[in-house]
């Protein structure tokens, strides 16, 4: 589970405004509803915590403004069917309103009140879709509530928004981010799929229901599931007894083989382990009969699947901790916080190659290098002396190894770039990407689980950050690009990006600058755009390259290459420190 943080530093909406809304509903505050535009209130970002404000139905003879305030407050507090919020609507609007369709997250609200009508102008900063996925989409938005009187002479809203409208502050307090887990198409590894769930709901039920529903729209083409089609949760609830979640499923799971049951249990275990330490495992039943899973714990009716189940399918693989780089024209390994620097074995460990960038395989046994003014891609086993040439093309970018032993490369001139994948450092496969002609890729990295490619690129005159799923079917192709917004309304926008790396399976570290010629600073970014925060500060780095490594315990390391061939390093939760000098093109395994 990740702590929700909607663009840290963004001007949060306005706990004072919420308090005023609560008071107006109870009749303690009178708010004028004449025709002037007014700010909804000042405020700052607040930490995630349960709100003590309880929505109440509309009071008799409430003004149009009070009705709108009450409706917004009722939408901000999760209820299964939003029965309180519906009471602020006309009867016809109640029938058509579908709060489950989406959640629009907004900031900076301004009321425009005239002739008993209320129009709310705001800044949209994101949306949660019906599949639970968050998408950072910034822009202005206007909601005309179209207030009218009902048969009892009471003001009601006739034009509610599509779905819910929730302020960023309320969203932080009322929703949390979790990962659902699905498999790659070959069922080798689990792949996280971030969604948001309300904090007031029953988390176990929400997670299991979402997992049975399937992956989010963006990830769906790239993943498989061990859950049979049309499997449903019986009773629509997952009660927890004695630290065990009780999952009653439809008969579709009875015919699963032992291997298929392991896949099903692994998806459930990785998804449910985010709930907290009080949940130690789960039991699956069909028509009241326990469904046994290979390698579960306990005997008979007491058997259960621990939430630690499925470690063989961990999204983050074991990987070498070796760092490599370039010193005096030769490839070297770096150890001991920079105290031990040694040439790699073989020809690449001796001067003579004009090395532009390096990549090291996950197991640390194979080194790839782009050389000769980015016109040649070569690889060398650490146990052999001579490298072999894989490709001779112009515009080669830094290559990347995946957990599956693949070496990925992007090459070519702008508008004519291509993506190539090499298996076992020899057979090459062209990877189709429909967006490649419209976007010039300047840097890329593949997620630790091998499911996504993150890119830095240019689209027209704009620099951009985006993520695309890797679809591994009969042919390997790239799914649609999902652009990540880097706007921070409280400070500046990141307009230039030098490089990127992964710090988890769903989080990136980037080197970003707000202006042309500005200093590149490290920022951590969620791939759905829901979090954007600085990670320390540069100290005159003159940063030009970034390398990251994620371990299977969830921590990460990072290294920045800067001016004067100096390298700065970082460990999770620590501070940046000077690692070594006279080193360029740092790279970690994987």
529-578 tens-digit pLDDT: 998 889 988 878 999 999 999 998 889 999 999 998 999 999 988 899 99
Q: Is the pLDDT of residue 303 over 50?
A: yes
**Arithmetic mean of pLDDT, 347-355:** 94
Q: How far apart are CA 38 and CA 24, in angstroms?
A: 16
pLDDT band at 13 (very low <50, low <70, confident <90, very high): very low
| 263 half-sphere exposure, CB direction, 13 A CA radius | 21
What was the pLDDT predicted at 51? 53
3-state helix, strand and coil shares in percent for the chain, rounded to the nearest 5:
15, 40, 45
Is the per-residue pLDDT at 38 higher than 60? no
Burial class for 458, CB neighbours closer than 10 Å (0-12, 13-18, 19+)? middle
pTM above 0.75, yes or no: yes
Mean pLDDT for 255-266 is 98
- Paired with 112 in beta bridges are 37, 119
Convert 314-348 into a string of H (helix), E (strand) and C (coil). CCCCCCCCCEEEEECCEEEEEECCCCEEEECCCHH
* pLDDT reading at 323 higher than 60: yes
Lowest mean pLDDT among 117-131, 183-197, 258-272, 505-519: 505-519
DSSP string, 18-76: HHHHHHHHTTSS----SS-EEE-----------------PPPTT--HHHHHHHHHHHHH
Angle at 404 between CA 399 and CA 407, to 5 degrees: 20
In terms of average pLDDT, the best of 209-223, 291-305, 420-434 is 209-223
Confidence of residue 113 (pLDDT cuts 50, 70, 90): confident
454-463 mean pLDDT:
92
pLDDT score for 485: 84
The pLDDT value recorded for residue 492 is 56
Mean pLDDT of 244-273: 98
29: pLDDT confidence band, cut at 50, 70 and 90? very low
**Contact of 232 with 250, CB cutoff 8 Å:** yes
Please provide the DSSP assignment of 539-579 as one string.
SS----EEEEEE-TTS-EEEEEE-GGG-EEEEETTS--EEE
- Report the pLDDT value the prediction gives residue 460, as an integer from 0 to 100: 87
Q: In the numeric block, which tokens belong to residue 110?
A: 């301004």
Domains of the chain plus CATH, in order, are 15-175 (no CATH), 184-313 (no CATH), 323-588 (2.120.10.30)
pLDDT at 448 over 80: yes
Residues 542 and 334: their CA atoms lie apart, in Å, by: 21
φ, ψ dihedrals at 285, nearest 5°: -135, 155
Query: 233: which DSSP letter?
Result: B
pLDDT over threshold 60, residue 32: no
Would you say 470 and 451 are in contact if contact means Cβ atoms under 8 Å apart? yes
CA angle 318, 367, 441 (to 5 degrees): 90
Closest CA to 328 of 344, 315, 317: 344
Instruction: Give pLDDT, residue 488.
Output: 52
Q: Is the pLDDT of residue 127 over 90?
A: yes
Which strands, in side-by-side order, build the sheet including 400-401?
A: 400-401, 406-411, 418-423, 427-431
Name the band, by pLDDT with cuts 50, 70 and 90, for residue 516: confident
Output the pLDDT for position 181.
99
Is the predicted pLDDT of residue 493 greater than 80, yes or no? Answer: no
- Tokens (6 digits) for 24: 């107006």
Pairing of strands 521-526, 532-534: antiparallel
Query: According to the model, what pLDDT value does residue 114 have?
Result: 80
Closest to 31 in 3D by CA, of 1, 2, 3, 72: 72
Residue 146: closest CA among 138, 134, 158 = 158
Cα dihedral 262→267→268→271 (10° resolution): 150
Is the pLDDT score of 7 beyond 50?
no
**Confidence band of 258 (pLDDT split at 50, 70, 90):** very high
In eight-state DSSP terms, residue 452 is: E
Average pLDDT over residues 186-205: 95
The band of 300, judged by pLDDT with boundaries at 50, 70 and 90, is confident
Mean pLDDT, residues 459-470: 93
| Tally of CB atoms within 10 A around 35 | 10
Task: Name the region of 294 (left: φ>0; alpha: ψ -120 to 50; beta: rest).
Answer: beta
Please report which helix (H) or strand (E) contains residue 407, including its range.
strand 406-411
Half-sphere exposure of 438 toward its Cβ, with a 13 Å CA cutoff?
A: 7
Q: Which residues contact 403 (CB under 8 A, 6 or more apart)?
A: 189, 317, 319, 362, 448, 449, 450, 590
Cross-strand bridge partners of residue 432:
477
Residues 6+ apart with CB under 8 A from 215: 131, 180, 182, 193, 223, 225
Instruction: Quickly list H helices, 157-220.
Output: 168-174, 203-213
- pLDDT score at 157: 98
Q: Comparing 351 with 33, which gets the higher pLDDT?
A: 351
Q: What percent of the chain has pLDDT over 70?
A: 90
Would the pLDDT of 46 be above 80? Answer: no
Closest CA to 181 of 213, 211, 217: 211
Whole-number pLDDT of residue 554: 85
Comparing CA positions, the residue from 542, 459, 467, 551 lying closest to residue 504 is 551
Please report, rounded to a whole number, the percentage of residues in the chain having pLDDT higher than 90.
76
Pick 309 or 16 by higher pLDDT.
309
How high is the pLDDT of residue 487? 65
Average pLDDT over residues 73-78: 94
Q: Which of 263-267, 382-386, 576-580 has the lowest mean pLDDT?
A: 382-386
pLDDT, residue 34, reads 28
* 293 in Cβ contact with 285 (< 8 Å): no
Q: What is the CA radius of gyration of the chain?
A: 27
Q: Using CA atoms, how far apart are residues 107 and 123, in angstroms rounded to an integer?
A: 5
Alpha-carbon span 105 to 148, nearest angstrom: 26
User: 237 pLDDT exceeds 90?
Assistant: yes
C-alpha–C-alpha distance, residues 470 and 160, integer Å: 39
Tell me the average pLDDT of the chain.
Answer: 89
């Amino acid at each position: 589970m990740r702590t929700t943080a909607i663009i840290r530093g963004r001007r949060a909406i306005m706990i004072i405004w919420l308090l005023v809304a609560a008071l107006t509903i109870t009749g303690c505050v009178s708010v004028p509803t004449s025709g002037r535009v007014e700010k909804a209130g000042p405020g700052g970002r607040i930490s995630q915590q349960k709100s003590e404000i309880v929505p109440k139905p509309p009071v008799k003879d409430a003004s149009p403004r009070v009705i709108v305030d009450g409706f917004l407050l009722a939408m901000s507090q999760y209820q299964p069917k939003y029965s309180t919020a519906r009471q602020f609507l006309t009867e016809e609007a109640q029938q058509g309103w579908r709060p489950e369709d989406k959640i629009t997250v907004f900031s900076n609200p301004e009321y425009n009140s005239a002739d008993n009508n209320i129009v709310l102008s705001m800044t949209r900063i994101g949306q949660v879709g019906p599949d639970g996925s968050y998408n950072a989409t910034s822009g202005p938005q206007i909601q005309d509530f179209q207030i009218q009187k009902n048969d009892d002479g009471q003001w009601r809203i006739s034009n509610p928004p599509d779905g819910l409208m929730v302020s960023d502050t309320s969203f932080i307090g009322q929703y949390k981010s979790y990962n659902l887990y699905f498999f790659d198409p070959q069922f080798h590894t689990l792949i996280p799929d971030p969604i948001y769930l309300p904090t007031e709901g029953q988390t176990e039920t929400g997670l299991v229901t979402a997992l049975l529903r399937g992956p989010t729209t963006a990830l769906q083409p790239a993943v498989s599931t061990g859950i049979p089609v049309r499997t449903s949760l019986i009773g629509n609830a997952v009660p927890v007894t004695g630290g065990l979640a009780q999952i009653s499923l439809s008969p579709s799971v009875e015919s699963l083989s032992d291997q298929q049951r392991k896949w099903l249990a692994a998806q459930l275990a990785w998804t449910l382990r985010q709930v907290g330490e009080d949940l130690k495992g789960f039991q699956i039943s069909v028509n009241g009969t326990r469904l046994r899973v290979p390698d579960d714990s306990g005997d008979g009716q007491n058997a259960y699947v621990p939430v630690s189940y499925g470690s063989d399918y961990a999204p983050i693989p074991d990987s070498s901790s070796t760092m490599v780089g370039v010193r005096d024209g030769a490839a070297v390994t770096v150890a001991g916080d920079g105290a031990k620097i040694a040439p790699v074995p073989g020809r690449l460990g001796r001067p003579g190659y004009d090395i532009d960038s390096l990549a090291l395989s996950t197991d640390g046994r194979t080194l790839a290098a782009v050389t000769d003014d980015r016109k040649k891609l070569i690889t060398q086993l650490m146990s052999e002396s001579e490298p072999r040439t894989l490709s001779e093309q112009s515009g080669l970018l830094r290559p990347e190894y995946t957990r599956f032993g693949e070496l990925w490369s992007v090459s070519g001139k702008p508008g004519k770039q291509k993506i190539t994948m090499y298996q076992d450092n020899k057979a090459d496969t062209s990877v189709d990407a429909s967006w490649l002609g419209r976007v010039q890729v300047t840097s890329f990295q593949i997620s630790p689980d091998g499911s996504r490619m993150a890119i830095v690129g240019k689209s027209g005159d704009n620099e951009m950050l985006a993520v695309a799923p890797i679809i591994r079917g009969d042919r390997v192709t790239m799914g649609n690009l999902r652009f990540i917004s880097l706007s921070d309304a409280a400070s500046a926008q990141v307009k230039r990006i030098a490089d990127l790396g992964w710090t988890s399976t769903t989080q990136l570290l980037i080197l970003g600058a707000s202006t042309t010629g500005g200093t590149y600073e490290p920022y951590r970014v969620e791939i759905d755009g829901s979090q954007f925060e600085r990670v320390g500060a540069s100290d005159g780095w003159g940063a030009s390259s970034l390398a990251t490594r994620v371990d299977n315990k969830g921590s990460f390391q990072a290294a920045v290459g800067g001016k004067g061939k100096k390298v700065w390093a970082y460990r999770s939760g620590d501070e940046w420190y000077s690692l070594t000098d006279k080193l360029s093109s740092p790279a970690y395994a994987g």
